[in-house]
Structure 1
Amino acid sequence: MINRKLLSAVCALPLLLTLPAHAALRIFACEPEWGALAQELGGNLVEVSVATSALQDPHQIQAKPSLIARARNADLVVCTGAELEIGWLPVLLQQSGNAKVQNGQPGNFAAADYVRKLDVPGQLDRAQGDVHAAGNPHIQTDPRNIALVATALGARLQQVDPSHAAQYAQAQADFTQRWQQAMARWATQAMPLKGASVASQHKAFVYLYDWLGLKEVAVLEPKPGVEPTASHLQQV
């Protein structure tokens, strides 16, 4: 007679083979650049969902039930910080009820905490428009900032998922090497632009200008977040 334990093990084998080797770390990213970076560093160890698309203004997002549900199930929230998501992220995190991803917890990662901020106001005055107290939050336009954030995010992944720390460390090292090579190539290609004068619709590219040595000579918005009038455009 076949041993019952052996028979049970054989019958259970197909089920075991279909089970995942590990539960993926669930990451909720506020912007697509951080979702892409998290996927690069996490690979098949992570499951990434992104709250916004590249065509959306991250200032103007609503804390919809679908986003709240994603934050509720997240192990790690990765956002820009520096008040970029101030209009919706605090509400979303509060309503998620997820203690792991609240401010100050390892599951809450703000990319802007790891870079040098530009356009930090000397004084706060709402009459100056949509001014961010922590400085300009559009840090992703300088690839040097991406490298800094990648190092910090790699370390955070190791902290929240220590059982796969070695994989995250290797992925971060590989990414940094490839990114540094790409930055050197981009810098060479952009050398003819150094010193060029540029105009912007919104002060969203100051970090890019700082990296490439460009001069911002005009901004179409009279104040941050304020639509330009016809008379202002004529002056510009």
Structure 2
Amino acid sequence: MVRTCSKMWAVALTVLLSAAAPARALNIFACEPEWASLAKELAPEADIYSATTAYQDPHYVQARPSLIAKLRRADLFVCSGSELEIGWLPALQMRANNSKVRDGQPGAFYAAEQVERLDVLGKVDRSMGDVHGGGNPHVHWSPTRIEQIAKALTQRLIVIEPANAERYQQQLASFLQRWQTQREQWAAQASSLNGVQVVSYHTSYRYLYDWLGIEQVGDLEPKPGLPPTSGHLASLVSLHKQKPYQLIIYASYQDGKAANWLSSKTGTAVLGLPYSVDPNKEQLVDLFGLYQTAIDQLLAAVAADG
């Protein structure tokens, strides 16, 4: 009898401890910090890890053992897609051997697949350089696309954790309200940027320019993915004589050497724009800060140019 009672108490204690133990947080692997930031808006209780920083080229990432381990434990990954991570994400998926985050599963979420992309190409070959046939993948620079991606990501979170559906919908509603209010303010603030002509490094800000009406008239790369050459930079000097552009822009993960050289030959201002969220910098801590900082810097650079 004593032994039976002891067993009953042991079972009861196990049940109580299980009920008291907190549920395991959803584990989210973000390929880039912009998607880690969005995931935090929608799932603040989740355990979120960003594979890259704002100062890394997201095209080229080493499939390190630490990244493999993180993806192995993930319930969901959130990546740009449109071939941005084609050089490293498939290798991570294969080595992580996590069935939850295989392509086609609910745990595999590609942001660019949720929206209409710019610069979709019908035919791609090596002679064109490192182009993305499925369209420009840098969709986090489009505020309206961010809204669409947030809605799609919320639905994916609900598929993975249906018990938390109401919570996720509430987080989405809060984010969209704040984002749409800010988007209108940004558009008004940046209206003077419409028609500004720039030369950029790569097409990293294609969606930002499309939104603000900025015209990219030249690229520091002779072809996508190829480093600037002296001959190509000389052609951009000639372009400035025919069509004076107001800014030379490169991203925080790109080398500014070519931009500074071109500036020295044309007298055009150089601007190193932040590319993504940096949780360690107050002004770039989230998507709101990233957008505001980029707009402030663009306005200041154009104003200084006169």
TM-score normalised over the length of structure 1: 0.92
Residue aligning to 2:138:
138
AA aligned to 2:182 is A
| Counterparts of 2:212 and 2:122, CA distance in 1 | 25
AA aligned to 1:158 is I
| Counterparts of 1:207 and 1:56, CA distance in 2 | 19
Residue aligning to 1:90:
90
| Counterparts of 1:155 and 1:16, CA distance in 2 | 29
CA distance 1:177–1:106, change in 2 (3 Å): same
Matches within 5 A, 1:34-45: 34-44=35-45
CA distance 1:154–1:192, change in 2 (3 Å): same
Residue aligning to 2:212:
212
Deviations 1:115-154 (A, max 9, x none): 1111112321211110111011111111111111101001
Residue aligning to 1:75:
75
Residue aligning to 1:171:
171
| Counterparts of 2:111 and 2:170, CA distance in 1 | 20
Residue aligning to 1:181:
181
Residue aligning to 1:125:
125
Residue aligning to 1:31:
32
| Counterparts of 1:157 and 1:33, CA distance in 2 | 17
TM-aligned CA deviation for residue 43 of structure 1: 1.2
Q: Secondary structure at the match of 1:227?
A: coil
TM-aligned CA deviation for residue 195 of structure 1: 1.1
Structure 1 unmatched ranges of 5 or more: none
AA aligned to 2:43 is G
Residue aligning to 1:19:
21
TM-aligned CA deviation for residue 19 of structure 1: 3.1
Moved more, 180-189 or 139-148: 139-148
TM-score normalised over the length of structure 2: 0.71
Root mean square deviation, CA, Å: 2.2
| Counterparts of 1:4 and 1:159, CA distance in 2 | 42
Q: Secondary structure at the match of 2:74?
A: coil
| Counterparts of 2:217 and 2:230, CA distance in 1 | 19
Q: Secondary structure at the match of 2:190?
A: helix
AA aligned to 2:27 is R
TM-aligned CA deviation for residue 4 of structure 1: 7.8
Q: Secondary structure at the match of 2:71?
A: helix
AA aligned to 1:19 is A
| Counterparts of 1:218 and 1:212, CA distance in 2 | 17
- Sequence identity of aligned pairs in percent? 51
Structure 2 unmatched ranges of 5 or more: 237-306
Is 1:53 the counterpart of 2:49? The answer is: no
Residue aligning to 1:202:
202
